[in-house]
Structure 1
Amino acid sequence: MTVTQQDLLNLGLAPGPHFAAALAEANRLGLTGAALQTFVRVLAREPAKPKTAAQTGGQTGAQTIGQTENHILFPEQG
């Protein structure tokens, strides 16, 4: 079965710059049924909003990313 533009629209994916790529990927993966519904649901989510400095204790994104990388690479150091 080939996924069509109408299939994606019916499942709630809004037209936009990502639409053609989503359609191509759904067909490349051969998605149908629940798998296609999940694919569209994930794509339709709003992107996460960046945290403010107040939410990160005044740290920049680079600082928090560096801490995360260090925690992954060196978990014994806290």
Structure 2
Amino acid sequence: MECRPGCAACCIAPSISSPIPGMPDGKPAGIPCVQLDEQFGCLLFGLPERPAVCGGFQPLPDVCGSHRDEALWLIGELERLTG
């Protein structure tokens, strides 16, 4: 599965505990990463400053669903169940 352009559910729904440039304490669940641009693209994509957790996230149908709203819900539920 390929990432959907403009989705960014994985950059919004989960909490990230590792530091992110501009978010030294990571980010809470449901809060967009400060590194998202206006089109929901990652400003750190391909750069060494991008956190390993972000680079390790792989799009999967069970996590990303069939559209952005479903991905936000699925990832949010995973966060709620494992947080």
Normalising by structure 2, we get a TM-score of: 0.31
The structure with the largest alpha-carbon Rg is 1
Normalising by structure 1, we get a TM-score of: 0.32
Structure of greater relative contact order (alpha carbons < 8 Å, 6+ residues apart)? 2
Structure richer in helix, relative to its length: 1
